[in-house]
């Protein structure tokens, strides 16, 4: 039996023809893989069934401000929230004054609805005009079913709100 040269040529040609097809397949696979990631809605920050959002600070008059946080979890979960509070400073040096930080551990049951966490702090540096701009930032993690904590979420910042000195 003899091997004809066309068989060897056909297999080489077939292999060469497969390279573009394989490349397209890999490209199509990576595009298909990237599709769901791109479809993620960045406005909804859900971490293991929980969402945490810094609400706009609420002026309580005097020198107190409620730096409120909204937390909601689906099912039985524990969420650990960290918060940073600031006075917004304008000007060329623009270094915001740190007011303080807090940590909250909130446990949710299957029947619990969203809740508002109240974090009241004093605004120490009310200027002569009697008003100051404040904001806060929150980040959180969730205890997973296996008892381990998730990674921390990105920091989310509230709007800057003007508070006034009470009389």
Instruction: Kindly state the percentage of the chain with pLDDT values over 90.
Output: 41
Confidence at 17, pLDDT banded by 50, 70, 90:
low
Is the pLDDT at 152 greater than 80? The verdict is: yes
Q: What is the pLDDT of residues 107-123, one digit of tens each?
A: 998 888 899 999 999 88
pTM over 0.75: no
- Asked if 71 and 79 count as a contact pair (C-beta separation under 8 A), the reply is yes
Length of the chain: 167
Position 45 scores a pLDDT of: 60
| C-alpha distance from residue 166 to each of 14, 52, 56, 130, 132 (Å) | 83, 30, 19, 8, 12
Q: Is residue 55 within 8 Å of residue 61, measured between CB atoms?
A: no
Question: Who wins on pLDDT, 73 or 19?
Answer: 73
Residues 81-99: pLDDT tens digits? 999 999 888 766 778 889 9
* Distances in whole angstroms, Cα of residue 159 to Cα of each of 14, 55, 58, 133, 162: 62, 8, 11, 10, 10
> Would you say residue 62 has pLDDT above 50?
yes
- C-alpha–C-alpha distance, residues 134 and 99, integer Å: 9
């Amino acid at each position: 039996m003899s091997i004809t040269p066309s068989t060897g040529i056909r297999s080489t040609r077939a292999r060469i023809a497969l390279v573009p097809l394989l490349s397209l397949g890999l490209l199509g696979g990576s595009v298909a893989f990237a599709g769901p990631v791109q479809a993620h809605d960045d406005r909804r920050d859900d971490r293991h069934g929980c969402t945490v959002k810094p609400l706009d600070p609420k002026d309580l008059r005097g020198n107190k401000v409620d730096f409120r946080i909204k937390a909601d979890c689906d099912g039985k979960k524990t969420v650990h929230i960290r918060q940073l509070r600031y006075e917004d400073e304008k000007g060329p040096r623009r270094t915001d004054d740190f007011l303080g930080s807090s940590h909250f551990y909130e446990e949710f049951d299957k029947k619990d609805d969203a809740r508002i966490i109240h974090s009241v702090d004093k605004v120490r540096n009310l200027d002569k005009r009697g008003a100051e701009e404040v904001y806060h930032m929150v980040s959180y993690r969730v205890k997973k079913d296996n008892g381990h904590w998730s990674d921390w979420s990105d920091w989310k910042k509230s709007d800057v709100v003007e508070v006034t000195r009470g009389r």
